[in-house]
């Protein structure tokens, strides 16, 4: 095989990685945006605790996050055991587990970005919408979210990139299963450990650089588009 041609197994790794990262990003999108808005706009009891809980996976070793997930959602845990008996849902050694692990570690990135973005929205604009008769929901979707979108989008891109880099929580919680949980970093690690795997490791390395760069380009583009839109809104 030539140095730059991906094998079928490497294509599978790429497909799975993008699938897991996209799945996790979509999974955290609604709650992440909501929590960002809540933390930017509302004071409530237990706010500090909520903020700490959300931020923990960002500062904890990912392996610790994986271990917590295993204790909470593993087959022998209360929640995990119930989910398996009642719905047949299994996370350990399963793609669902890889998605959950990626979602948990990338969640703080989205919330932090969304919180910052919503803090930057002028509350008077939201107030004006309310006085003009728009309900809370309509104000959020017609005023707050569009204005905060560039920051939220940047948070989504960051979260997506973090999902693609996931290793620690995934290998502990979801394991190393070809085609199910072996995403790019795990495949790279496997290849590097094999006596003749340096070629494969290098190809996967090039892949992850390309994907990360594409995500950053997409993020910049979203950001610019959002700012342009805001500029037009200011002008009108």
Give contact residues for another protein (rule: CB under 8 A): 74-76, 90, 92-93, 175-180, 190, 193-195, 197
Q: For residue 195, which phi and psi values (nearest 5 degrees)? A: -55, -35
Minimum distance of another protein from residue 11's CB (angstroms): 19
For residues 74 and 84, give the distance between their C-alpha atoms in angstroms, rounded to a whole number. 9
Minimum distance of another protein from residue 84's CB (angstroms): 9
Minimum distance of another protein from residue 164's CB (angstroms): 21
Structure tokens at 41: 């706009």
Q: Which is nearer to another protein, 175 or 219 (CB)?
A: 175
Q: Which is nearer to another protein, 41 or 180 (CB)?
A: 180
Contact criterion met (CB below 8 Å) for 153 and 161: no
For residues 49 and 219, give the distance between their C-alpha atoms in angstroms, rounded to a whole number. 30
Closest CA to 110 of 61, 153, 64: 153
Contact criterion met (CB below 8 Å) for 75 and 90: yes
Q: How many CB atoms lie within 10 A of CB 216?
A: 13
Q: What are the Cα distances from residue 86, in Å, to 82, 83, 96? A: 6, 5, 16
Minimum distance of another protein from residue 176's CB (angstroms): 5
Minimum distance of another protein from residue 162's CB (angstroms): 24
Closest CA to 164 of 185, 147, 145: 185
Minimum distance of another protein from residue 93's CB (angstroms): 5
Contact criterion met (CB below 8 Å) for 225 and 171: no
Q: Which is nearer to another protein, 58 or 189 (CB)?
A: 189
Q: Which is nearer to another protein, 119 or 176 (CB)?
A: 176
Q: Which is nearer to another protein, 151 or 175 (CB)?
A: 175
Q: Which is nearer to another protein, 92 or 114 (CB)?
A: 92
């Amino acid at each position: 095989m030539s140095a730059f041609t991906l094998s079928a197994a490497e294509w599978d790794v790429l497909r799975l990685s993008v699938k897991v990262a996209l799945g996790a990003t979509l999974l955290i999108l609604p709650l992440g945006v909501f929590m960002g808005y809540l933390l930017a706009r509302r004071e409530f009891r237990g706010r500090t605790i909520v903020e700490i809980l959300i931020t923990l996976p960002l500062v904890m070793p990912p392996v610790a996050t994986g271990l917590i997930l295993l204790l909470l959602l593993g087959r022998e845990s209360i929640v995990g055991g119930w989910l398996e008996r009642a719905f047949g849902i299994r996370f350990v050694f399963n793609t669902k587990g890889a998605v959950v692990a990626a979602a948990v570690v990338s969640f703080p990135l989205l919330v932090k970005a969304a919180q910052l973005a919503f803090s930057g929205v002028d509350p008077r604009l939201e107030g004006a919408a309310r006085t003009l008769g728009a309900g809370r929901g309509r104000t959020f979707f017609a005023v707050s979210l569009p204005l905060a979108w560039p920051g939220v989008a940047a948070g989504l891109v960051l979260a997506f990139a973090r999902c693609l880099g996931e290793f620690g929580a995934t290998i502990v919680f979801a394991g190393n299963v070809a085609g199910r949980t072996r995403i790019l970093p795990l495949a790279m690690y496997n290849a590097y450990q094999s006596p003749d795997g340096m070629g494969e490791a290098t190809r996967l390395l090039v892949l992850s650089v390309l994907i990360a760069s594409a995500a950053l380009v997409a993020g910049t583009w979203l950001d610019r588009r959002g700012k342009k839109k805001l500029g037009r809104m200011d002008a009108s």
